Structure 1
Amino acid sequence: MEALGDPAAILPLIGALALAGAAIGFLAGLFGVGGGAISVPVFFEIFRGLGYPPEISMPLAVGTSLAVIVPTSISSALGHHRKGTLDKDLLRIWALPILVGVLFGAAIARVAPPSVFQAVFVVVALINAAKLLTGGKGWRLADSLPGATTMRLSGAGIGLVSAIMGIGGGAISNLFLTLHGVPIHRAISTSAGVGVLIAIPGTIGYMLAGLGRPDLPSYSVGYVSLAAFALTIPASLLTTRAGVALAHRLSRRRLEIAFGSFLALVALRFLWELVRQAFG
C-alpha cells in the first residue's frame, strides 16, 4: 500500500487495521465466523481511501479478508474443538464440495463488478439475521441433516457464496445447520471449522485471480494485500480465545440475538453502499 510510505497516514492506517484485527478475532471465536463481515467493509474503505476504484477495492478487500480468516478460523476451530462441540464428521463430508465451490467463486471474482459482491453479502446476511432475531420460529426445514448428496451440494453452495462474500462461511453454514435442527452452539463450533475449509483455497484462488493486474497496490499478491494482512493478524489472534470463552458462557437466545444484530448492521452497511452507487 503506497500510503505506508507517508508518515501522516501510516499511524491511523495501522490503528484502523489493528482495531479491525481485534474485532475479527473476537467475532471468529464468538460466532464461529471468520470475521469477514467486519474485515471486508473495513478493507474496502481503506483501499477506497487510498484512491483505488471499486473494481479494485472490492475484490482486494474480499481476497485480503479470506487471507486474514485463515489463522483466525484455525484458532477458533481449535478452541471449539477443545470444548467438544465441533462436528468433524460433517466437515469431512463438506471438505471437497466446499473446495469446488470456493474455486468457482474465486473465478467469478475476476470478472464480476463490485455490486455483485455487495448484493450477495446483503441478501445472505439479512436472511440469517431475520432468522436469528425472530428466534427461528417457523425457520425449520427439517429436524435432522439431509442425506449425503444434499449435504455435498450444500457444501458447494456454501463455498461458492462465501468466496464471493469474502467470509469464512460461518454465517451461511450456521444458517443451514440450524435450519436442520442443529443446536446453536454445535452449529457455531462446526462453522468455525468450515472457515478453515473455505479460507485457505479462497485465499489462493484470489491470489491467482488477480495475478497480472498492473493496477493493484504494492505489497500485494493478486487480490490479497500482504501489507493489510500483516497489520491485521497480530491483534486478531490475541482476541480469538476471548470470543470462544464468551460463546460458551452465553445462553442460546442471547447468542442468537447478538449474532443476528451483528449481521443486520453489516448488511445495512453494504445496502447503503449499493444505494449510493445506484443514485450517487
Structure 2
Amino acid sequence: MKYVDAAQVQKKMNSRLTVNNIAKSLFLAATLIGLVVLVILFYRVISQSMGWIDLQFITNKLSTMADRAGIMGAIMGTLWLMLVVAPITLFLGVGTAIYLEEYAKKGRLQRFLQTNISNLAGVPSIVFGILGLTIFVRAAGLGNIVLAGGLTMALLVLPIVVVASQEAIRSVPGYLREASYGMGATKWQTIKNIVLPASLPGILTGVILALSRAIGETAPLVVLGIPALLIPLPEGIFDKFTVLPMQIYYWTIDAALVAEYANLAAATIVVLLFILLVMNSIAVIIRNKFQRRF
C-alpha cells in the first residue's frame, strides 16, 4: 500500500486554491473594469443630454441652429433603412441556413461555404462599406439612397443571421425529423412544419440582434457618402437619407466649433440606445414566448 504524505497533499490543495483565487480575482477585475467604463459612458451621455431631449427635438428636422435642431429626418431614415435590411437578411439568411443544414451534402464544398460565412461575420464593417460603394453606388448607379445603404447593411449582417439560424436549426432534436418522415412527410414539409417552428426563437433572436448591429453602424454609411445636411425627410427607398449614427458622428465633429452640438449628439445617443434597448427586449420576449410554446 502506497504511503500518502498528508503535508504534500495539503500543499497541493493550497496551491490549487491560490490559483483559483487569483483567477477569480482577475475575472472579477475584468468585469468591474467593463462595468465602470460603461457607467462612466452612461453618466457622461445622460448628463450632457439633460434638457435637450423633448418633443421638439424628436419631431424637428435638422437645422443649423442648435436650439432648433431635431432628429426626425434621422429617425425616418433609420426606419426606411431597416425596412430594406430586415426582409433581405431574414429571407436570404434563413434560406441559406436551411440549405446548408438540410440540403447541402456534407463535404468539402459545404465546409468551404461554412468557413467563409463564419469568416465574413468577423470582417470589419468598413470593408462592407467599400463593397457597397463599388457595387451599389458606382456599378449599379444607385447613389447614396436608402436602397444602396440598405443593401450594404444587409451584406454586413447577413453572415450573422446565417450563423445564428444554423445554430437554431441544429438545436432541433433529430427524433422530431424522424417522426415526421415516419408519418410520410416530405423533406420540405418537415422543414416547414417541424424544423422552422421549433427553431424560430433562435432565428428571430439572431435576426433582431443583427438588426440592432445594423442600426448602430456608421463606418459603411460614411464610405457610401451618406449626408447629414439639411435634406428633406425620406419618403421611399429611392430618396437620400441620413440615420441616427451618422447624425451623432457629424454633430460630434462639429462640437469642436459649436459646444451645443455635443449636447445634441449626446441626446441622439440616448434616443439610439433606447431604440436598441427596445429591439433587444423584443428579442428576449419573442424567444421566451416561442420557447414556452415549442
Query: Would the TM-score normalized by the shorter structure come out above 0.5?
Result: no
TM-score by length of 1: 0.30
TM-score (ref. length: structure 2): 0.29
| Structure showing greater relative contact order (alpha-carbon pairs closer than 8 Å, 6 or more residues apart) | 1
